[in-house]
Amino acid sequence: MDVSVLAIQATGGFLTGALVGYALRKAGKFLLLFIGILLLPVFGLWSIGVISVNWDAINLWIGKLAEWMGIVLTDAISALSSASAFGVAMVFGFLTGFSSFFRHVFEAPEKTKRFVQRKR
């Protein structure tokens, strides 16, 4: 395989993964906020005794979710081991985009404002 084709595949995979990771990070923040807002009334009603929570069913559901995630991760690892340069670079790009590395590239840094200014 030609080196230039390999470099183009790796660059394309990295950029694609970085953009997907960045978008998922932003969507995940909104999803977690939405779930938190939905769960606040449930926990409030549970704490004052209006409703009861079946903790055994929740623990069973979390166990099934963890088992499913283990299967998915095993499949992802086997797919990654047989991937080309595009796939491997996409995984590294996804991890980079999902982390806060690109935060200052796409967003303008916010200026910190203080209530009390220091005298200079």
pTM score of the predicted model: 0.60
**Does residue 97 register a pLDDT over 90?**
no
Encode the chain in three state secondary structure: CCHHHHHHHHHHHHHHHHHHHHHHHHHHHHHHHHHHHHHHHHHHHHHCCCCCCCHHHHHHHHHHHHHHHHHHHHHHHHHHHCCCHHHHHHHHHHHHHHCHHHHHHHCCCCCCCCCCCCCC
pLDDT in tens, 71-86: 888 887 787 777 778 8
Looking at the structure of the chain, the number of domains it has is: 1
- Over residues 6-29, the mean pLDDT reads 87
* 114 inside domain: no
pLDDT at 88: 82
Chain mean pLDDT for the chain: 82
* 63 inside domain: no
* 70 inside domain: no
Domain that residue 34 falls in? 3-53+84-106
* 18 inside domain: yes
* 101 inside domain: yes
